[in-house]
């Protein structure tokens, strides 16, 4: 049972927009900790996609954006491409767990 | 460009100690700007943070694993290590090492490819 809750799967057609939610609580996202997002293709190293709630590292297309409000966060992907098919994880920290890093359970994005 | 590479035993017997090493190349593990982490992913499950170590040697562990985990740094070899004792089948997972900025709430910005560890007799 992950501390942060994500939908197990989302899907969209090429060119469409999809969003992935990440729901936490008052001890993690709601406590003011930043939310970070990772893209993971099986067998490869996870890649930092968004950090500090809405900042893209160099090289990440602006099709990817993040937001945070209250105890939740979201990742939006616009102009969906076949190469976006991957697992996406949100991550934050939790004060009730002594500041431990916590992850969402992951969301499998399927490009139809 | 900094790179991380995990290595270690891929098969560990129940109740024994899992030992993994993460070699850091393209940068120094002694930089005070970063901490060094271990994260794992059991088959079919999500990511689980194990812990991290600062350049000072200070460590932070997941409370659920704290009694069994030790993370250490070998500056002479530019690498850091994970030891997990008394393993069970539940510890079977892909283990990743990762770099994290030494800042409040920082992300894990660089990851290794991961190494699969199976706990089985």
| Cβ neighbours of B63 in A, within 8 Å | 97-98, 100
Question: For A37-62, what is the mean pLDDT?
Answer: 95
pLDDT band at A98 (very low <50, low <70, confident <90, very high): confident
Burial category of A107 from C-beta neighbours within 10 Å (exposed 0-12, middle 13-18, buried 19 and up) = buried
Phi (first) and psi of residue B64, to 5 degrees: -75, -15
Q: How far B102 CA sits from the closest chain A CA (Å)?
A: 13
Question: How far apart are the C-alpha atoms of A101 and A2, rounded to whole Å?
Answer: 11
Q: Is the pLDDT of residue A42 over 90?
A: no
Q: Does B102 have pLDDT greater than 90?
A: no
| Res. B20 pLDDT band, cuts 50 70 90 | very high
Q: Which of B46, B49, B108 has the CB atom closest to A100's CB atom?
A: B49
| Residue B65, pLDDT above cutoff 90 | yes
- Residue of A44, A89, A100, A102 to mutate, interface with B, max B Cβ within 10 Å: A100
- Which token pair is B63? 């409370």
Whether residue B96 contacts residue B6, with contact meaning beta carbons closer than 8 Å, is answered with yes
- Find where tokens 């271990």 sit: B38
Phi, psi dihedral angles at B66 (to 5 degrees):
-50, -40
Kindly report the average pLDDT of chain A as a whole number.
Answer: 95
Instruction: Give percent above pLDDT 90 in chain A.
Output: 88
In whole angstroms, give the CA distance from residue A44 to residue B114: 7
Look at residue A96 and tell me whether its pLDDT is greater than 90. Answer: no
The enclosing H or E element of A38 equals strand A36-40
How far is residue B58's CA from residue B75's CA, in Å, rounded to a whole number?
A: 14
Judge: B62–A100 Cβ closer than 8 Å, yes or no.
yes
**Is the pLDDT at A24 greater than 90, yes or no?**
yes
Res A58: pLDDT: 94
Q: What is the mean pLDDT of chain B?
A: 94
Paired tokens of B80: 């850091």
pLDDT exceeds 90 at position B55: no
């Amino acid at each position: 049972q992950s501390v942060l809750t994500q939908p197990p799967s989302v899907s969209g057609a090429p060119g469409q927009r999809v969003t992935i939610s990440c729901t936490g609580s008052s001890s993690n996202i709601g406590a003011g900790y930043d939310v970070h997002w990772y893209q993971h293709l099986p067998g490869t190293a996870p890649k930092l996609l968004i950090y500090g709630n809405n900042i893209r590292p160099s090289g990440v297309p602006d099709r990817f954006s993040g937001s945070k409000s209250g105890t939740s966060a979201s990742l939006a992907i616009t102009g969906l491409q076949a190469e976006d098919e991957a697992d996406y994880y949100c991550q934050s920290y939790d004060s009730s767990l002594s500041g431990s890093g916590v992850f969402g359970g992951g969301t499998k994005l399927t490009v139809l | 460009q900094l790179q991380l590479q995990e290595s270690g035993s891929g098969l560990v017997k129940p109740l024994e100690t899992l030992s993994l090493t993460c070699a850091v190349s393209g940068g120094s593990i002694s930089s005070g700007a970063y901490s060094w982490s271990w994260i794992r992913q059991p088959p079919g499950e999500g990511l689980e943070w194990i812990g991290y170590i600062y350049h000072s040697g200070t460590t932070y562990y997941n409370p659920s694993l704290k009694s069994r985990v030790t993370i250490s740094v070998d500056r002479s070899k530019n690498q850091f290590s994970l030891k997990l004792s008394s393993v069970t089948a539940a510890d079977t997972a892909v283990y990743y090492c990762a770099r994290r900025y030494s800042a409040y709430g920082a992300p894990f910005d660089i990851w290794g490819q991961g190494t699969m560890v199976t706990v089985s007799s």
